[in-house]
Amino acid sequence: MKEITITSKFSVYDTQQEMPVDIQNLMEQAIAIRKTAYAPYSKFRVGAALLLDNGKIVLGSNQENAAYPSGLCAERVAIFQAGAIYPDAKIVKMAITAASDTNTTASPIPPCGGCRQSISEYEFRQNQPIEIYFMGEIGVVYKSDSLKNLLPFMFDKNFL
């Protein structure tokens, strides 16, 4: 038997003001769209903002459904919208923020497994990493240079 060690590297911003101005703007848009989330069941609101290589910003918020799991996460709403409206554009950066209606989220909230797989598909499709910035409602912001930090054993079409 052999063992392998996998490490992930993240940058940590103690405040949003430490981030580059373009990322501050992207995160502010994610925070604003988070408020439009339809989350009557989980009371957990997520906002995502994508910066595309054509300069456009695409937004998404989570949308729940009583017939669980028919809803969609904010990240996938934004990604699928970008793919539909700007099919030839590449996703360069993504900002994600999450907040609970019942308590303060002070730790960075990463994308769920389903969203990680969807982001992975787009990184593979565009042959370019996506910078991912994520935070809770308040507190530090984590930056990953690629989804590979969050999903080191990515599943893609090469396995099919």
- Residue 67 counted as an annotated binding residue: yes
- Residue 115 counted as an annotated binding residue: yes
Label residue 28 left, alpha or beta by phi (over 0 means left) and psi (-120 to 50 means alpha). alpha
SS (H, E, C) 37-80: CECCCCCEEEEEEEEECCCCEEEEECECCCCCCCCECHHHHHHH
Indicate which residue of 75, 123, 131, 137 is catalytic.
75
- Residue 73 counted as an annotated binding residue: yes
Q: Which two tokens stand for residue 92?
A: 């360069």
Task: Please report how many Cα atoms fall inside a 13 Å half-sphere around the Cα of residue 29, on the Cβ side.
Answer: 19
- Residue 17 counted as an annotated binding residue: no
- Residue 18 counted as an annotated binding residue: no
- Stated as kind and residue range, the H or E segment containing 114 is helix 113-126
75 is catalytic: yes
- Residue 65 counted as an annotated binding residue: yes
- Residue 37 counted as an annotated binding residue: no
Task: Please report how many Cα atoms fall inside a 13 Å half-sphere around the Cα of residue 156, on the Cβ side.
Answer: 16
- Residue 131 counted as an annotated binding residue: no
Cα–Cα distance for residue pair 123/101, rounded to 1 Å: 32
- Residue 62 counted as an annotated binding residue: yes
Residues of the binding site for substrate: 62-68
Residues of the binding site for Zn(2+): 73, 112, 115
Active site residues: 75
Residues of the binding site: 62-68, 73, 112, 115
